[in-house]
Amino acid sequence: MKLRALSSLLLLGCAVSLLAAQTATPEKQKFSPPSRKFVFTYAFTVKDIPAGSKLVRVWVPVAHTDEHQTVRLVNVKAPVETRMGEEPEYGNRILYAEIRNPAQASVDFTLEYEVTRREYSRGDYAQLEGKDTKPGVVPASMNRYVQPDNLIPTDGKIKELAEQVTGSQQGTVAKAKAAYDYLFSTMRYDKTGSGWGRGDAIWACDAKHGNCTDFHSPFIGMMRADDIPARFDIGFPLPENKDKGDIAGYHCWGEFFARNIGWVPLDISEAWKAKEKADYFFGSVDANRVQFSTGRDLTLSPKQDGPPLNYFVYPYVEIDGKAYDGTSKHFSFADVTAEQNTADFRPAPSPAM
């Protein structure tokens, strides 16, 4: 009887342990809360404006609401009247200002936002592969997403790399995963030296290091070489374990399009920096970010005098028809909880211009 009772207890214990293990294992591991509400401050100064300048033109990317984020632009501080426009190719929103015969050597701009960002997930690799189909005819509406960009070719070395890395794979998701795994394993996140940060796919393939633009540009190139639509997203990261503070610079990620699924997000550089998240960041991006624009080689609205922009996340300035780099930038955020008022986090008003 004692042995039978002991056996019963052991079996019961095993069953409870198995049930607990099954309950504790989610479909896809979550690393951050599914949404994040915060205020975001985008401030910059156009400084050292040359004496005698006739026209200063300023374009600023404006975050907008979509299915992954709800955005409210709560305040704009500018030395002159501004107007909103929309970049024609991708629909990016733009704030535009003109300063004629500037009387001051420096002018300040501040945009204050309230943002709720949501996790963007299409599921893990197994779930995606279960819905997948082979790459097919690209719809006319997707043509731009299979065409090359200035720094993302789809022929030559990138085409050869796509054939080498993805050629044996049959489905869209399988090809994308092969390219993701290749870049994750062969590149390193390293911002030393020169050349990084431009999103030059050929440079990244040769140098095998860089920042987020350098990780995602060859991925986008390989996808497009396989006639799989892919696109480039850029905005700002939020620290995962801080509730307020400054943000040093931008962050970008990528998406590819699969029939029967839609757009699928991924973030190879974040996966490289936190390797335990490598599986998560194929098919998902977390809520620790805010997106400002999509696309490369951008013609602004109204049209700039200079060439198309490589990407658009920082303010772009022209003085008398020439690109001007004399800007200082400051970005910051503060999380908002249900008990707090957004107004509590806004910076004090700047002195009148």
Whole-Å CA distances, 8 to 4, 11, 16, 18, 107: 6, 5, 12, 15, 78
Q: Are 243 and 336 part of one and the same domain?
A: no
Q: Are 109 and 166 part of one and the same domain?
A: no
Q: Give Cα 2 distance to the centre of its chain.
A: 63
Q: Are 137 and 250 part of one and the same domain?
A: yes
Query: What does the pLDDT read at residue 9?
Result: 38
Structural domain boundaries enclosing 213 = 121-285
Q: Are 183 and 316 part of one and the same domain?
A: no
Segment 125-142 shows an average pLDDT of 91
Closest among 55, 59, 43 to 311, alpha carbons compared = 59
Q: What's the start-to-end Cα distance of the chain, in Å?
A: 90
147 assigned to some structural domain: yes
- Reported as type and span, the H/E element at residue 38 is strand 35-46
54 assigned to some structural domain: yes
72 assigned to some structural domain: yes
Q: Are 63 and 125 part of one and the same domain?
A: no
Q: Rounded to an integer, what distance in angstroms lies between the CA atom of residue 269 and that of residue 252?
A: 9
Beta bridge partners of 65: none
Q: Are 273 and 311 part of one and the same domain?
A: no
Say whether 297 sits in a helix, a strand or coil. Answer: coil
Which CATH number covers residue 316?
2.60.40.2250
Q: Are 81 and 69 part of one and the same domain?
A: yes
Q: Rounded to an integer, what distance in angstroms lies between the CA atom of residue 65 and that of residue 47?
A: 31
Q: Are 180 and 56 part of one and the same domain?
A: no
Q: Are 126 and 109 part of one and the same domain?
A: no
Q: Are 110 and 57 part of one and the same domain?
A: yes
Q: Are 198 and 280 part of one and the same domain?
A: yes
Domain boundary at 240, 255, 285, which? 285
Q: Rounded to an integer, what distance in angstroms lies between the CA atom of residue 125 and that of residue 174?
A: 9
Segment 338-346 shows an average pLDDT of 60
292 assigned to some structural domain: no
Whole-Å CA distances, 221 to 154, 168, 285: 5, 17, 20
91 assigned to some structural domain: yes
The answer to whether 244 and 334 have CB atoms below 8 angstroms apart is: yes
Torsion sign over Cα 241, 243, 245, 246: positive
148 assigned to some structural domain: yes
Tokens of 213: 């633009």
Segment 10-23 shows an average pLDDT of 37
Torsion sign over Cα 334, 337, 341, 342: positive
pLDDT of 20 above 90: no
Which CATH number covers residue 175?
3.10.620.30
Beta bridge partners of 290: 236
Q: What is the total count of domains within the chain?
A: 2
Tokens of 338: 């249900």
Query: What does the pLDDT read at residue 15?
Result: 39
Q: Rounded to an integer, what distance in angstroms lies between the CA atom of residue 177 and that of residue 155?
A: 20
Domain boundary at 239, 257, 285, which? 285
4 assigned to some structural domain: no
Domain boundary at 235, 255, 285, which? 285
20 assigned to some structural domain: no
Q: Rounded to an integer, what distance in angstroms lies between the CA atom of residue 268 and that of residue 225?
A: 19
Segment 138-143 shows an average pLDDT of 91
Q: Are 127 and 107 part of one and the same domain?
A: no
Whole-Å CA distances, 316 to 55, 74, 229, 233: 14, 22, 28, 18
Q: pLDDT (tens digit, 9 = 90+) per residue, 164-220?
A: 999 999 999 999 999 999 999 999 999 999 999 999 999 999 999 999 999 999 999
